Chain A
């Protein structure tokens, strides 16, 4: 109460001074009782008093002390200052995000009463202060306590490998952990799966494809004791391994090639990231490096170089940040940015850490040791980074040519007389100078990607472009090396303060734009962003003032940067940039100051060599990546609202994991630090999930308190420790798992198992008393059909095959339909258009690409039966298969039947089955009235519809 009394003392003093509003203090109190308190009680108390069932916004209005202390958005009343009082702001409905009462706007007269009351010092009678926090005061957020209470934050242990009774069963430590728990429960493992079952399992699990008949025979004929190891090593070395496992990762990073929403605009070059993944898995890129490249591949000092094509691999990993959905024309661009960042953080934190950090966007995490400050520390990294389309330059040919060209130009420049400095403008625009490039260096905060852009310096310089012989001093130019090089120039981030931005430049082609709050979609659709993008400008070789204007007016106070993109053809030469309300004037053409010396033969030859190099450059190949932006600190948005700014937070890692500050490289380092127990556990758990059918932690993307507890915590730690000890090699861990006895179990329980115990001790098979029956993922079903029918085109990599579009896939942004069979390519090479996802794949649970999804689930619905029964793709593949098998004319009918059956199921049909299949052929032929390929196509169709095809036993 002491504090309360103090406030009263000052309050009455204030009231005493506020004679203007009320003649006496009593009059003020009477006014309060008549006009103010009833409104508060009727309109506000249900959510904002000690009696509220659920106190909203941590604000109570049942006492002046609470009003002054305020809630989440800060003090509600500033006595004497109605214009600074949030209470008045909320009541007057002037702030869209703060409108109270929420269901009705109070009459203006009532709001005026409140203004008057506050102006008078907000008189409130002396009375007890109702308890703070109301009935349901939530437990205070105690990060340290939560961290101590939940298992996932604890360090990884080095568990003792437990003893077992069935000593001859285990083959690896994994088996000890599994068997130990089974024995404790009074259970026993299943018998071994037969060779064919095991082989089919391991083929699909490692490559997503069935074994061919030859591969089955080779395995069965191998009598060596290491034959399983041999097969596993072969499969791990197969390029199809990467195609299978990259797809699992794509589920986590919501991989797609269009932005969705109304017009489904393209995400250019997304497939380069997909190919990066396939290579990374195939090369067994250590997972810690994989994570580093994803988070900060652009900042790695010595990036990994692609061996075959010699380009920077590491930087491609950063593409995952930008595969989000995106809309055009958001009326609130900052809210739009906040949503994107929430998605980016969701992907990062779930994929690598198994944490739901985005839950802390509006409030400290309800359950986990993650604070709102943690969340906004991560948004700081995104604010400090930029999206950029970067030249990959395979073979480094462009870089090498550029280096040689610069040498040539330096030599040629030496022949030029020193040029007098360009005189200043006679009529300088009054506007504020943002940048000029007079002193020859790039000003602080400006950055360059690619070979094309460089400051021209103060002296004279040749270019390699015919018709534009000299660069202009005091500019940043992309013409010096000729037009063939690409690049981008980016300004530091600034706050928009004027209505126009003027750029004095000469330019042709490419694009220049103001990127406001990291909104990149204006290039597709300018609505609400008119005047912020110039596509393909052309100043006809002369310097001129161009301006950004139009809708820019709307974005005063927003953060933005300028970007000049030269994609190859075309050039930019930027002289200066001014922020103003007035148009600048072109009062002088700087190029007039160029020397008019005659050029010697020697220099001519040099320049000719440089031009030849320019002409010989290979075509550009771009990728979507992250680059450094202007360093910015994260800023807390109170209750998730970008209109209510809280405090700043430094760029740092999660507090529960040490809160280390630093740039994105630090974030990457902390993500894979030995002190972080999550990343290694999360990834081994994912591998387990994909191979065993359910994770040791079943909620694979959420290790927090709302997720599941691990069924075998010691095994999880052993696997995590083993991974790190073995250089974060995912192939190592996968090999360990698939060569275990656990994985080699049959999918039916051991005949001697006690069923009474089983039904209570392990009804869900969490203890793994058998291998679960698993349905193939969508991709494996489609790829399996192509493989069996002989239509699979095993080509690796490259641009995606357009999605085949059915009559039911209409809507805005629809593209040309692709081939029914996807060109025979594996499913991973098919396009993923957010608004036109393949119905066949979706039916079999390919996830929609909007957020991380580590566990697809396997639905079981009639639409799947309809797809396999009637989808033209399946029917067509059956026909192709029949034609192919009939082309081999030397085969007996029974051999054909057996081979087809085996191709689909990896099993040999028994006599009864073969007879049934033969009878079917006869029956179909009878209906057709002819014995031809149609009956065989029907047989192929039947075989593809078998459960033994789409389920792995």
Chain B
């Protein structure tokens, strides 16, 4: 049911003049007051209106697969035969001096319990943890960065750093920066959607906040259920009741708009009711999978035996549907119940097995499905945790946090598949060649969507703030 009450009336010449004097003025004032300084394009009244990038780029959307807790690089993609040779030895003797670890409980050198093989035409090393990703059709789409680093050994700061480029709380998340720089293509859905698999990462909702950017850019948490976001379900028992209300609200507001001299803020607020009304139906429509073929549901693992595979499969399928609907930035968080996220301080075998079982099939399905629908070219997929894990044990059967060298990968829009950039040392401990920082990851992601990271700035606190602060280099070797 649609409400057709929301079209502004014809304006007189005098109204138009007044709007020129005040309406556009209002925009300029807003810019002034909020210390905004966006390179490039003229801002409209709608903070989420799509904007032209700094340069043309293939990617338009981002799907960020956030691997909460820190997957182990040496058990997944960073193959280190030396660990087998020195398995069980004291790492201080064979590796040398170790940096402080979070739990300060250093055990022996620990080899991977999974076999590695080279996969696809690219010959990428993949352990047995990822049988679906190992499919040549998928693996050759991936570009690995094996020399990523973080500044923090502790989850919260590292999560903020990965998400916002700062270890402190309260800064804008990547998704917010993308919304700020580029807007979004669907005005009936938020521009930054977090598909929550069940876990909110350490650091809480501030991992998805808009920080000092306007609130319009903050991530909206979608729970995987009929009513995924707050306040989206009308409280009225009968749709007509709400339509009556909205009609009356509109009628009352129109007379105020008139009396306020067509104040642009009031006009914008009225417009928001129309959008909100449409969101009430566009959001449930998004969640309604009845139109998806059974084969697609199966591909994503919606019928898998392991419940978390179903959950993450649903998240991946929804991610594709969000991309189809033009949502700029989509982040997926992990389901609960796989041990403590990817954070295997102990029971590494059990925890990593479950985590991989959860994400492997759905992610492979997502890549295939995006390829099938032609969306992969314009969709950047990023897989990353906040740090990696130590090549030596914590206690007997765990691995501690390791921010000094770990693996992330990218695929899709503008990414050169089948490459591997950077290396850790022979232990898989510290990045030694082409050492990258989170700033470089962020700069590259922005670049792939046509945003020059040094030019996407927001004046706050007396500085032109950036996602990449004063750092960041585009990782050229992963560009297609």
Contact = CB atoms under 8 A, between A and B. Distances in A.
Contact of A916 (B30, B168, B251): B251
B29 A924 contact: no
A701 interface: yes
B362 to A, nearest CB: 22
B169 A942 contact: no
Contacts of A862: 272-273, 275-276, 279
A672 to B, nearest CB: 22
B256 interface: yes
B296 interface: no
Interface in B88-136: 99-104
Contact of B263 (A262, A527, A747, A764): A747
Given A325-B169, A850-B168, A927-B241, A708 B435 contact: no
Contacts of A763: 21-22, 24-25, 28
A333 to B, nearest CB: 10
Nearest to A858: B265
Interface stretch (A82-90, A385-393, A806-814): A806-814
A911 interface: no
Contacts of B339: none
A541 B40 CA distance: 74
Interface residues of A, number: 107
B407 interface: no
A604 B391 CA distance: 70
A748 interface: yes
A755 interface: yes
A63 B209 CA distance: 48
B265 A528 contact: no
A669 B434 CA distance: 52
A356 interface: yes
A103 interface: yes
A899 B473 CA distance: 63
Interface in A841-895: 842-843, 845, 848-851, 853, 855, 857-867, 869-872, 875
B373 interface: no
Given A916-B248, A946-B249, A765 B29 contact: yes
Interface string B206-234: 10010110111010110100000111111
Nearest to A853: B212
A917 interface: yes
Given A843-B215, A848-B170, A938-B241, A261 B269 contact: no
Contacts of A759: 17, 20-21, 25
A8 interface: no
A436 interface: no
Contacts of A103: 433-436
Interface stretch (A69-77, A172-180, A832-840): A832-840
Contacts of B252: 913, 916, 942, 946, 948
A264 interface: yes
A904 to B, nearest CB: 10
B31 to A, nearest CB: 9
A758 B261 CA distance: 14
A866 B102 contact: no
Contacts of A855: 33-34
B462 interface: yes
A350 B248 CA distance: 45
Contact of A104 (B30, B154, B204, B435): B435
Interface string A123-145: 00000000000000000000000
A773 B258 CA distance: 13
Contacts of A706: 459, 462-463
Task: Kindly name the residue among A694, A708, A859, A917 whose own CB sees the greatest number of chain B CB atoms within 10 A.
Answer: A859
A219 to B, nearest CB: 21
Contact of A812 (B32, B103, B152, B202): B202
A759 B24 CA distance: 9
A568 interface: no
Given A759-B20, A917-B248, A938-B245, A331 B215 contact: no
Contacts of B215: 842-843, 845, 859, 861, 863
A953 interface: yes
Interface in B153-171: 153-157, 167-170
Contacts of A951: 256, 260, 263, 265-266, 269
A643 B25 CA distance: 49
Interface string B451-463: 0000000010111
B461 A866 contact: no
A836 B265 contact: no
A946 B279 CA distance: 20
Contact of B203 (A102, A261, A924): A261
A942 B249 contact: yes
A416 interface: no
Contact of B276 (A775, A850, A869, A942): A869
Given A861-B272, A862-B279, A261 B169 contact: yes
A91 interface: no
A772 B261 CA distance: 11
B32 A708 contact: yes
Nearest to B336: A810
Nearest to B235: A875
Interface string B289-315: 000000000000000000000000000
Contacts of A927: 238, 240-241, 244
A704 B47 CA distance: 28
B377 interface: no
Interface in A890-923: 913, 916-917, 920, 923
A528 B104 contact: yes
A953 B220 CA distance: 31
Nearest to A755: B17
B265 A356 contact: no
A702 interface: yes
A839 B230 contact: yes
A945 B249 contact: yes
A641 to B, nearest CB: 12
Contacts of B52: none
A342 B28 CA distance: 33
Contacts of A359: 461-463
Given A808-B221, A866-B232, 12 more contacts: A103-B436, A356-B463, A367-B462, A694-B33, A698-B33, A707-B462, A842-B218, A851-B170, A853-B212, A862-B272, A923-B244, A951-B265
Interface of A: 96, 102-105, 260-262, 264, 325, 327, 329-332, 339, 343, 346, 350, 356, 359, 367-368, 527-528, 551, 554, 694, 698-699, 701-702, 704, 706-708, 747-749, 755-756, 758-759, 762-766, 772-773, 775, 806-813, 834-837, 839, 842-843, 845, 848-851, 853, 855, 857-867, 869-872, 875, 913, 916-917, 920, 923-924, 927-928, 938, 941-942, 945-948, 950-951, 953
16 contacts: A329-B102, A331-B100, A527-B102, A698-B32, A706-B463, A755-B14, A773-B263, A773-B266, A775-B269, A835-B206, A839-B230, A860-B269, A869-B245, A920-B248, A927-B238, A946-B256
| 4 tightest Cβ-Cβ pairs between the two chains A and B | A850-B170, A763-B25, A356-B462, A835-B204
